[in-house]
Chain A
Amino acid sequence: AQTVTQSQPEMSVQEAETVTLSCTYDTSESDYYLFWYKQPPSRQMILVIRQEAYKQQNATENRFSVNFQKAAKSFSLKISDSQLGDAAMYFCAYRTRSGSARQLTFGSGTQLTVLP
């Protein structure tokens, strides 16, 4: 079974600075998808970015980018020019490509605080 580990329960960053949230996962599969979700205080789950394992190029979405290291099974999220609205719980998630219906496996989350 796949597992996803987020080793940083809490992180803080100064407004306008850059922060990196770490995520590692364990799988025996070679093809899969990885996601970062954001959960602000409103509780809504918002997709931030996704990465396909067969793509070597790291995904980017505006101020959000990932560092995908397939061999190391690492999938970190970098937030540049942090804004107060980035404060949230961030979840890393794994999804198999093999057709299994088990869908997303989530990490335990990292609570990000943005300091003004």
Chain B
Amino acid sequence: EAQVTQNPRYLITVTGKKLTVTCSQNMNHEYMSWYRQDPGLGLRQIYYSMNVEVTDKGDVPEGYKVSRKEKRNFPLILESPSPNQTSLYFCASSSRTGGNSPLHFGNGTRLTVT
């Protein structure tokens, strides 16, 4: 089954404790991206990757890191999480960077930073 898999689904952590949210897709997509969803703000892009070893900042990259060492994986790293990073996070992928190819989303990770 074609899918984007994110883990974990829920995560509670404390300020400053490094964490990684994993994302993997099995559709051989070139493009992958991370979004955060906050009430009243919709989804905002954090980072994106057009292909292996190619990443770039989105609209809200501060406090996050990503890597794209393999085509299928695109982990999101919070080196020193803070309470303002409490949010719902989505990983997404698509086959092209433009066009009407839809984004395929993971099921989201609810992160709480205390």
Interface positions of A (Cβ within 8 A of B): 4, 6, 9, 33, 35, 42-45, 47, 50, 52, 91, 95-104, 106-109
Query: Would you list which residues of chain B between 81 and 114 have a CB under 8 Å from chain A?
Result: 88, 90, 92, 94, 97-100, 102-103, 105, 107-108, 110
On whether the beta carbons of A103 and B103 are closer than 8 Å, the reply is yes
Interface positions of B (Cβ within 8 A of A): 31, 33, 35, 40-45, 48, 50, 56, 58, 88, 90, 92, 94, 97-100, 102-103, 105, 107-108, 110
On whether the beta carbons of B42 and A109 are closer than 8 Å, the reply is yes
On whether the beta carbons of A108 and B100 are closer than 8 Å, the reply is no
- Chain A's closest residue to B94 (CB) is A103
State the CA gap A44–B9 with chains docked (Å).
12
Given A91-B43, A102-B58, A107-B42, A45 contacting B98 (CB threshold 8 A): no
Shortest Cβ distance from B36 into chain A, in angstroms? 11
State the CA gap A109–B39 with chains docked (Å).
9
State the CA gap A57–B99 with chains docked (Å).
18
State the CA gap A9–B40 with chains docked (Å).
8
Chain A residues near B97 (CB, 8 Å)?
A: 99-101, 103
On whether the beta carbons of B41 and A108 are closer than 8 Å, the reply is yes
Given A103-B45, A103-B103, A108 contacting B40 (CB threshold 8 A): yes
State the CA gap A106–B60 with chains docked (Å).
14
On whether the beta carbons of B40 and A99 are closer than 8 Å, the reply is no
On whether the beta carbons of B102 and A35 are closer than 8 Å, the reply is yes
Shortest Cβ distance from A63 into chain B, in angstroms? 19
Say which residue of B98, B105, B110 sits within 8 Å of A100 (CB atoms). B98
State the CA gap A33–B32 with chains docked (Å).
18
On whether the beta carbons of A95 and B98 are closer than 8 Å, the reply is yes
Say which residue of B40, B50, B90 sits within 8 Å of A101 (CB atoms). B50
